[in-house]
Amino acid sequence: MAVAAVTSSVGAQRFLPLPSSSRPKLSFPSSFDSSKRRRGHAVVSVAIQNDSSPFKEAEAVAVVEEVAQRGRDSRLDKFAFEGSSAAAGGGDADVDAVVGGGAGGGSSFPPPPLPPPSPSTRQMVDRAINASIVLAAGTFAITKLLTIDSDYWHGWTIYEILKYAPLHNWAAYEEALKTNPVLAKMMISGVVYSLGDWIAQCYEGKPLFDFDRTRMFRSGLVGFTLHGSLSHYYYYFCEALFPSQDWWVVPAKVLFDQTAWAALWNSIYYFALGLLRFESPVTIFSELKATFAPMLTAGWKLWPFAHLITYGVVPVEQRLLWVDCVELVWVTILSTYSNEKSEARHAEALPESNTRSLEE
């Protein structure tokens, strides 16, 4: 009797519905599609109708939760791959509906931008441009120097052309000094300051054709517009200031040159380069104060000895040519001082800008 009672009791419980409070509630994510919810409820309904035991119903709930988890994973994969299925014209319709905001949605993402050119490609292009500039300028200069007597070449040998080219180029330079001295000296200073900055960049460790074209152009522009013209008038002013021919005149000119004129020209050169770099006057002035004394004292290691020849041997109309030859060394020093400060400031500003962007 006891066995029969237990059997009948278990059989009766099999057909009794579970209380509503004991049946677990199904929860779906807010982004989960309504069609998936309906499919999940259908699975639970079928499971309950077939077998309403708590164990079977728990298995059905687990199936629905697995479906919901797959929907969440699919949505994450969709965001991770930037809509690759939509761009390819296919993909899971359910996932597209989830990303698009509903069963009738769907989202297409723009293709990723093209990667920027590699540094090696840019470097090769810059080298090619720089090599073309050097080749064109060198070819032009050599051609002009060698063809100074091209009108008289008839019957000349190569030896005769090379023999008379230096003499006739010098005669042409002296003629230019008489007809238009300021322009001739501006041209010389522009070439010298461009070459000097190129030498400075090579001295800093850059390869021969990896120079900064903009920086070299700035230096050459300052030499052309300012140094040539100002130096022309300065040397005549210095002759008028010290007209005597006594022995002390040459040391006095050297002293005046290396104090008043050197301080003035170094400041002009530094300030002009800063303006061409679009720096503020306050920034230029603060950097000039930091480099003024080092630049002036660096000049004392070179110019006093060179100016003994400048003021003691070279005629006044030829002084700028001699000075510009020496300036190939001096411009290297000037350009190095000026650009070291600018590059150091930009290097300090870059981490600060990155820090501000991270904080924002």
> Which residues span the domain enclosing 332?
180-353
- pLDDT at position 350 is 47
- pLDDT at position 120 is 80
Distances (CA, A) of 338 to 135, 267, 294, 302: 27, 11, 11, 18
Looking at residues 292-305, what average pLDDT do you find?
A: 89
Residue 197 — pLDDT band, cuts 50, 70, 90? confident
Which residue has better confidence, 82 or 336?
336
CA–CA gap between residue 133 and residue 127 (Å, rounded): 10
pTM, entire model: 0.59
92-113 exposure pattern, b = at least 16 Cβ within 10 A, e = fewer? eebbbbbbeeeeeebeeeeeee
**Domain limit, last residue, from 100, 116, 142:** 100
**pLDDT tens digits along 65-93:** 665 666 666 655 554 544 444 444 444 44
> Coil, strand or helix: which one is 321?
helix
Give domain status of residue 233, yes or no: yes
Q: How many domains does the chain have?
A: 2
Residue 291 — pLDDT band, cuts 50, 70, 90? confident
Does residue 303 register a pLDDT over 80? yes
Q: What is the biggest distance separating any 2 CA atoms in the chain, rounded to whole angstroms? A: 148
Looking at residues 216-239, what average pLDDT do you find?
A: 94
- pLDDT at position 69 is 66
308 φ, ψ (degrees, to nearest 5): -60, -35
**Domain limit, last residue, from 100, 122, 139:** 100
Q: What percent of the chain has pLDDT over 70?
A: 59
- pLDDT at position 154 is 80
Check whether residue 184 and residue 314 sit in a common domain.
yes
Looking at residues 246-266, what average pLDDT do you find?
A: 94
Residue type at position 252: A
**pLDDT tens digits along 235-252:** 999 999 998 888 899 999
- pLDDT at position 244 is 83
Looking at residues 32-57, what average pLDDT do you find?
A: 49
**Domain limit, last residue, from 100, 130, 164:** 100
Give domain status of residue 39, yes or no: yes
Check whether residue 193 and residue 337 sit in a common domain.
yes
